[in-house]
Amino acid sequence: MRSPLGELELEVLRYIAERRALTVGEVTEGFGVPRHLARTTVQTVMERLWKKGYLVREQQPGVYRYSAQEAQESVLRGLVHDFVEKTLAGSLSPFVAYLSETQEVSPQEFEELQKLVARLEAQRKEQEK
């Protein structure tokens, strides 16, 4: 299990994961400047992400280009897993209760949830055999 991410680290990781390999300057320009973050702050966050294994970097003449180690979906799935295990003590009930109370579930997300429940039911039936 990798080190947990802070809020800013997660935002920077998502920004990089949605794009191609980026330099610190490019992330500062596209992500940091609109949020009034100094280049040194962006660089520190990117270095932390690299050391934690969330980013890979490739040296090119004069700069490093950083890209996400995993696809954004995979990273987010891992973060949700960590949240459920650490914060909810492995129980999905509070998470499902939250989803049932929120108005923010789109029709596409609802369909995905239904498919996941169907897959879980099939797995449970297989285990009961």
Domain locations along the chain = 1-90, 92-129
Report pLDDT digits (tens) over 36-50. Answer: 999 999 999 999 999
Q: C-alpha dihedral over 31, 33, 35, 36, to 10 degrees?
A: 150
The confidence band for 88, taking pLDDT boundaries of 50, 70 and 90, is confident
Count the Cβ atoms, other than its own, within 10 Å of residue 63. Answer: 14
pLDDT (tens digit per residue) in 16-31? 988 889 999 999 999 9
Map tokens 């609109």 to a residue: 34
* Helix segments in the chain, DSSP class H: 7-17, 24-27, 39-51, 72-86, 93-101, 107-128
Our separate counts of H helices and E strands in the chain read: 6, 2
- Helix (H) / strand (E) element for 57: namely strand 55-60
- Reported CATH class of domain 1-90: mainly alpha
